[in-house]
Structure 1
Amino acid sequence: MSNWSAGAAAGAAPLLPLLLTGCLAEDSTAVSRGTLSGDILGAGATFPEPLFQEWMSHYNTTVETGTSIDYQAIGSGEGIEQFLTESVDFGSSERYLQESELMVAREVRGCEAVQFPVVFGAVVIAINDDDLDGLVLDAETIAGIYDRRITRYDDPAIAALNPGLELPHREIVPVHRSDGSGTTYVFSSYLTNEVQSWADKYAEGTDIDWHDDTVGGDGNDGVIQAVEASPGGLGYVNQSYALSNGLATAHVVNEDGTPVEPTLEATTAASEEAEIPDDFQFNIHDIGGEGYPITGANWIFAYECGYDDDTAEVLRDFWTWTVTDVEADSFATRLGYAPMGRGLEQRVMEEIQRIDSAD
């Protein structure tokens, strides 16, 4: 069974099933249509960029044509920084704002920050070799590859997980994100939870002090390019980037010892049972069953005060649309993201209504 490890265990909410929202068309929260105007700028994670671009383009051209919502995919670390320096209207990251950052937000803005998850997705291990599609890896072998203790595809540790598969005697070229990245946070949080040697040497974060014999790439696109540039390339990226580039992906062994392909169904399975605290500060760990184990959420950051009326209304309306509208869900599932579920949706809607509520 999936278990979500909360960043603040105290006060955790009851276990909530995250049901896909394909059935929500009839009772979705109504929002205004064709009456709003305003230009909104956001920045942050590259993890949800394909989905955000679809959402924003559709919203700007079909839902509220008087609005313009732009998003700069500059990495989660930079997105958090720009949010906290008030350079953007909203920020985005694959990790929640921690207490020290929430304190900075209060000092800078003079009111509380608002943060809520909007979508779930898988971080996949992409490989530049079609013959290795479905290669089975576990947390120990992935950590060993990035720590350069495992340097070739036919290493005994990998061979033991792939009996009967002819593995090439080829050097593995591990590729990582060189920018501050929420994708890195999801990836390193998984390894930190699963592998003690990784926790001791690297730990989790948006930036990691990587082994010298690994290769960096800027953004998901940069990782993909570096993987494709080498016959032995292997890197962690958002699932949609691996799909759109036609790269082979590894099956990763979950908590129950099951090798799981990174599919939408497996991502959904990893988020079906969620113990999420009221402050939405959580990590996704110890995934079993049919769930894919390297799964993360994307958070949106906004403020309780300081927006003009048009900006605040567009922010509330747009994020309401993304978590309640069936068309928004269809964009998410087509790109390999798991949309918001009914139980969590109601809680997120309450958080969205806090945007600019203190003014």
Structure 2
Amino acid sequence: MTFKFLPLAFIGFFAFLTSQEGFATDKEAPLKELTGAGATFPYPLYAKWAEAYQKQTNTQLNYQSIGSGGGIKQIKAGTVNFGASDKPLDEKDLNESKLMQFPAIIGGIVPIFNIKGIDQLTLDGQTLGAIFAGKITKWNDAALAALNPGIRLPDEAIVVAHRSDGSGTTFLFSHYLFDVSNDWKTAQGWDAKNPDKVKPDSTAQWPNGSVAGKGNEGVAGLVSHTPNSIGYVEYAYATENKLTHVVLKNKDGEVVEPSAEAFSAAAENVDWSKSPSFYMIMTNQPGKKSWPITGASFILLRTEESYADKNKDVCQFFHWAFKNGQEMATTLHYIPLPASLVTLIEKAWQNHKIAPKS
């Protein structure tokens, strides 16, 4: 039996495509396969879940880590059993596309940097937005120096690293910067006279001289190998690749480190029961311990009756993950969904008549 996971080019993170020798027998039930595509944000965890699930159930999950934009396109086209996106779809888009969604995991996005001889850097929303908007272009800028007393920042140009693909990670990062940085909003074409014309999206406008990588792994690789660079990735990519991350001032003015506890503190502010379609964005949440760029990653399913059987199989996988995969989630610094949210998700499955067997 083979376990198939199709990651993008990766910088020594996970090697899958493994062989489970000696597991299959002639009496074993036929191999069942599920296909999914989308967000790179949850990929490390989905890979761990899929490997363990296959060992227990003989069901193979083939997940392509191609970015949220690609996942949305593929599920809308019906070419995969489920899509995955860190950018939730609003109710109008869900209805028009005949889709439903539910959150699967919660995590954090962290700015990462590569400055020789420096292993700590404090930023706030205004300075982070100014860097990614191209307004702050040198590491020794006075605004950065003021936030980092005692650290000799170099007189070097900042290299911004960002996603090249349609990305839910970019959407969450941009959504946060829209909240806290006028420089970022202006760089995206925002106009106070017509504030709804430009909104955060899975792509963005970047400064001249920036570099782009595909997937979280691509950005992590760029920052790792580019001196004086800064980028943004899901936290597991930073920790597993031993990349140096920024600490941020949050909405309450407290300087916080990214951690499972900080992501959980932000998530505690969210009331999922107020959103039947599970549309929820949790960036820039209040709380002294809250990490300001926290978000959920979502699963997208088609709602037509012809997809019901496969949808049940997909829901069976996530039912198993919610019940058995919490330790794997916390090991990778994700936040398992609270029991109250899992109950809401299971009710949504029942409403769509795709609830798995208990």
Aligned to 2:83: 91
Mapping 1:190-229, distance limit 5 Å: 190-202=176-188, 203-229=199-225
| Amino acid aligned to 1:114 | M
Q: Which runs of 5+ in 1 are unaligned?
A: 1-33, 107-112
Matched, 1:344 2:338: no
| Amino acid aligned to 1:96 | P
Offset from partner CA, 1:12-65 (integer Å, 9 cap, x none): xxxxxxxxxxxxxxxxxxxxxx97963110000000000010111110112x12
Aligned to 1:60: 54
Residue pair 2:133, 2:183 contacting (<8 A) in 1 also:
no
Cα gap change, 1:355 to 1:41, in 2 (>3 Å): farther
SS in 2 for 1:120: strand
Matched, 1:182 2:142: no
Aligned to 2:139: 153
Aligned to 1:286: 284
Aligned to 1:19: none
Cα gap change, 1:357 to 1:54, in 2 (>3 Å): closer
| Amino acid aligned to 1:229 | H
SS in 1 for 2:104: strand
Cα gap change, 1:154 to 1:104, in 2 (>3 Å): same
SS in 1 for 2:233: strand
Cα gap change, 1:275 to 1:79, in 2 (>3 Å): same
- State, as a whole percentage, how many aligned pairs show the same letter: 36
| Amino acid aligned to 1:318 | F
Residue pair 1:114, 1:354 contacting (<8 A) in 2 also:
no
Cα gap change, 1:37 to 1:305, in 2 (>3 Å): farther
Distance 2:182 2:157 in 1: 25
Distance 2:270 2:233 in 1: 24
Residue pair 1:146, 1:214 contacting (<8 A) in 2 also:
no
Aligned to 2:17: none
Partner residue of 2:45 out of 26, 51, 62: 51
Cα gap change, 1:165 to 1:76, in 2 (>3 Å): same
SS in 2 for 1:68: strand
Aligned to 2:257: 261
State the superposition RMSD in angstroms.
2.0
Aligned to 1:247: 243
Aligned to 2:267: 271
Matched, 1:69 2:28: no
Distance 2:217 2:302 in 1: 30
Residue pair 1:134, 1:249 contacting (<8 A) in 2 also:
yes
Give the deviation of 1:208 after TM superposition: 1.0
| Amino acid aligned to 1:265 | E
Aligned to 1:102: 94
Distance 2:300 2:281 in 1: 17
Aligned to 1:171: 157
Give the deviation of 1:260 after TM superposition: 0.8
Residue pair 1:128, 1:248 contacting (<8 A) in 2 also:
yes
Residue pair 1:304, 1:354 contacting (<8 A) in 2 also:
no
SS in 2 for 1:291: coil
Matched, 1:140 2:138: no
Give the deviation of 1:234 after TM superposition: 0.9
Offset from partner CA, 1:265-305 (integer Å, 9 cap, x none): 11111112312222211111332310110111101011333
TM-score calculated relative to the size of structure 2: 0.83
Give the deviation of 1:165 after TM superposition: 1.9
270-279 or 338-347: bigger deviation: 270-279
Distance 1:245 1:353 in 2: 40
Give the deviation of 1:95 after TM superposition: 1.2
125-134 or 89-98: bigger deviation: 125-134
Residue pair 2:309, 2:354 contacting (<8 A) in 1 also:
no
Aligned residues: 315
TM-score calculated relative to the size of structure 1: 0.83
Cα gap change, 1:313 to 1:103, in 2 (>3 Å): closer
SS in 2 for 1:284: coil
Residue pair 1:75, 1:180 contacting (<8 A) in 2 also:
yes
Residue pair 1:44, 1:78 contacting (<8 A) in 2 also:
yes
Residue pair 2:134, 2:208 contacting (<8 A) in 1 also:
no
Give the deviation of 1:357 after TM superposition: 4.3
Matched, 1:321 2:320: yes
Residue pair 2:109, 2:233 contacting (<8 A) in 1 also:
yes
Distance 2:78 2:135 in 1: 43
Give the deviation of 1:306 after TM superposition: 3.7
Residue pair 2:172, 2:283 contacting (<8 A) in 1 also:
no
Partner residue of 1:39 out of 27, 33, 39: 33
Give the deviation of 1:129 after TM superposition: 3.5
Distance 1:205 1:324 in 2: 33
| Amino acid aligned to 1:137 | L
Residue pair 2:134, 2:206 contacting (<8 A) in 1 also:
no
Offset from partner CA, 1:83-107 (integer Å, 9 cap, x none): 111111101001111244324323x
Distance 1:239 1:248 in 2: 11
